[in-house]
Amino acid sequence: MRKVTGIALATSALVLLSGCKMDGRERHGQADAAAIEKQIRDIETQWMADYNAHNADAIAAHYADDAALANPGAALATDAASRKTGITQLVSDPSLKHEFAADRIQVARSGDLAYSRGHFSMETTDPATKKPKTETGTYLTVWQKQADGSWKAIEDAVIPGAPAAAPK
C-alpha cells in the first residue's frame, strides 16, 4: 500500500510541476519563443547598424565560427577568413547603405535554433557605371544559440529579386 501511495504522490507532484514555469521555460520544455524572437530582432537591428557603420569586425562577429554565408555572385563563404574578406570588400564601398528586417522569425521548441526570413534593400556602387545602384531581395538566416547564451548566424543566404511581401 505504501508503494502505491508513494507512486500516486510522486505522479501528482509531477503533474502539478508540469504546469509551472521554471527557469524561464514554459511547460513541456518549450522555449519562450517570444523572448527569443525579440532577441533575434534586436541582434538584426544591431547587425544592420554595423553594416551602415561599415564595421567589418562587428558584422563578422554575428556569425558562428563555422557559419556559411551565401551572397549572389560570390563563392559560398564557410570559414571566418572568407566571410571577413567578402564583408570587408562590401563595407569598403562608400555608397553602402543596407536596410533589412525580418518578416518572419520561427523558434524551435528546444530554444536552441531559430530562423529569420526577411527583406532587404542595399545601395552600393555599380562597378560599371561608378554610380549608386539599389538591389532588393530576401534573406534567410538560421540562428543557433551558443554555449555562452548568445545567438549567432550559422547559415545566411541572400536572394536577389523583388522582396517578399510583408505579412499582413
pLDDT digits (tens, 9 = 90+) for 19-69: 333 344 444 567 899 999 999 999 999 999 999 999 999 999 999 999 999
Distance CA 55, CA 50 (A): 5
pTM of the shown model = 0.79
Taking alpha carbons only, the member of 71, 93, 82, 85 closest to residue 137 is 71
Residue 167 included in any domain: no
Q: Are 76 and 106 contained in the same domain?
A: yes
Model confidence pLDDT, tens digit, residues 111-123: 999 999 999 999 9
Residue 165 included in any domain: no
Q: Are 110 and 128 contained in the same domain?
A: yes
Identity of the residue numbered 74: A
Residue 89 included in any domain: yes
Residue 166 included in any domain: no
Structural domain for 20, as ranges: 1-30
Taking alpha carbons only, the member of 130, 104, 101, 126 closest to residue 115 is 104
The pLDDT, as a whole number, for residue 164 is 60
Q: Are 23 and 35 contained in the same domain?
A: no
